[in-house]
Amino acid sequence: MISVVISQAQGKNPAKQQLEAELVAALSSEADVKVSLVPHLYDLAAEHSATQFLRAIPGDVIVLSWLYPRAARWILDRQNIRGHEGISLLESKSDEDDDDESPARKNGNGHCEVPDARPLPNRKIYCLDLRDHSNASVYLDEIHRIASEASMPLVDLFSFLQTQPQAERLEKYLRPLDLLAEQKTATSLDDDDDAPANGEVVRRRWYPVIDYSRCTNCMECIDFCLFGVYGLDPLGSILVEQQDSCKKGCPACSRVCPANAIVFPGHKTPAIAGADGEVGDVKIDLSKLFGAPSAVELAARERDVELVRDGRDTVGLTIGIPKRLKDKPKKPRDELDDLIDSLDALEL
Ligand code: SF4
Ligand code: SF4
């Protein structure tokens, strides 16, 4: 028996809803699969009943979401839905540029480098990106392959839920296909909000997700953010303490993280949204050639915009600028410096 969770897309895209519906329809008839439909993972609050339901699932889980697998995995981790990383054999968009072994990727081996007192359950969580393929059969084949290799004992999820105090509410998330259509029909909601059938409003959210397989606990994000989003746990590990204090649409701190460990799953740039690779993933920093702002300058500008929106003074590059840049010793000249000087001389 394996649990399959489908995390619904934000909004009302018919093609996405169709794919979700096809998967639910196909999996509902399979005896050794328990399929559940939950709102978009990123938007779920810690106390939402779908989050509680996800926490209560025992054994291996396959999570299909409209997110890069790295983003989905660490969103789940922070909600205390944890397990070892299950490896999917599906071709993923996030693998496409994954052909080097940059410093930022060397820690990305699935284990946490930052102190974490929570025990890691002995089960696997497989995260599949629903944006990778439009054909439901591709996902069904992969689910069958994973189910055949799953090693956890048979667990009757429905029986398990009956023992839980909130079983009645939780069961609403084990919804049959015909509830898909009524899921987003509530009135008096912002366009940004989705209302699941049980009446709990799910609002669009925006906050950083830390990939702890990359994070080195260097604290540059907490120094940079002037909006109180980051904090420390009792072990001194960085955490996103006030998720909803983050400024919607702003990805500034992801640009200053030296480990490329900060993910904004809703950002349009794949590397910021959780694709493998680096936020500033260019072999030569073209900004030096064409006078564009560096990633840190861009981050400082984005932060200033949010400070002004809050009625505060701008700080530019005077606060929270990465120590590695401030204390950087002067490098000896190299060929790139010569090239830049030559271009300057041409006065292009
Ligand atoms: S800046 Fe990046 S590596 Fe450093 S503590 Fe923050 S998330 Fe971790
Ligand atoms: S994006 Fe801006 S407000 Fe949000 S955590 Fe990063 S620095 Fe703070």
Helix H or strand E encompassing 187: none
- 210 occurs within a structural domain: no
Cα–Cα distances in angstroms (integers) from residue 130 to residues 19, 39, 328, in the given order: 8, 14, 42
Residues 34 and 68 in one domain: yes
Domain that includes residue 123, residue range = 2-203
- Say if residue 189 is in the same domain as residue 297: no
Atom 8 in ligand 1: residue holding the nearest Cα: 215
**Boundary (domain end) residue, out of 174, 203, 232:** 203
**Residue 259 DSSP label:** T
List the structure tokens of 288. Answer: 């030096």
**In a domain? residue 212:** no
172 with 250, same domain? Answer: no
Q: Is the CB of 147 under 6 A from ligand 1?
A: no
Q: Does the residue 221 lie in any domain? A: yes
Measured from the alpha carbon of residue 221, the closest ligand is 1
Instruction: Clarify whether residues 133 and 223 are in a common domain.
Output: no
Residues 168 and 292 placed together within one structural domain of the fold: no
Mean pLDDT, 10 residues at a time, the chain of 348 residues: 96 97 96 96 96 96 98 97 95 60 42 79 96 97 93 46 50 40 36 60 95 96 97 96 96 96 96 80 48 86 97 96 62 61 56
Q: For ligand 1, say whether the CB of 238 is within 6 Å of any of its atoms.
A: yes
28 assigned to some structural domain:
yes
Q: Which of 203, 226, 250 is the last residue of a domain?
A: 203
276 inside domain: no
Predicted local distance difference test score (pLDDT) of residue 116: 86
Clarify whether residues 22 and 83 are in a common domain. yes
pLDDT of residue 154: 40
Q: Is residue 189 included in any domain, yes or no?
A: yes
CA distance 300 to 317: 6
Q: Report the alpha-carbon distance of residue 51 to residue 173 in Å, rounded.
A: 10
Query: Closest by alpha carbon to 3, among 200, 170, 169?
Result: 170
**Same domain for 83 and 43:** yes
Does 226 share its domain with 291? yes
Last residue within a domain, chosen from 203, 235, 269: 203
Are 179 and 141 found together in one domain?
yes
Number of domains composing the chain = 2
Cα separation, 204 vs 185, whole angstroms: 16
The residue to mutate among 210, 226, 245, 253, having the most atoms of ligand 2 within 8 angstroms of its beta carbon, is 253
208 lines ligand 2 (CB under 6 A): yes
125 & 251 share domain: no
Does a structural domain hold residue 264? no
* Same domain, residue pair 39 and 113: yes
Whether residues 34 and 103 fall in one domain:
yes
Contact yes or no for 145/105 (Cβ under 8 A): no
Within a domain: residue 268? Answer: no
Distance in Å, CA 230 to ligand 1 centroid = 10
Q: Note the ligand closest to the C-alpha atom of 212.
A: 1
Q: How far is CA 220 from the centre of its chain?
A: 20
Residue 17 near residue 180, CB atoms below 8 Å? yes
Given a contact cutoff of 8 angstroms between Cβ atoms, the answer to whether 69 and 94 are in contact is: yes
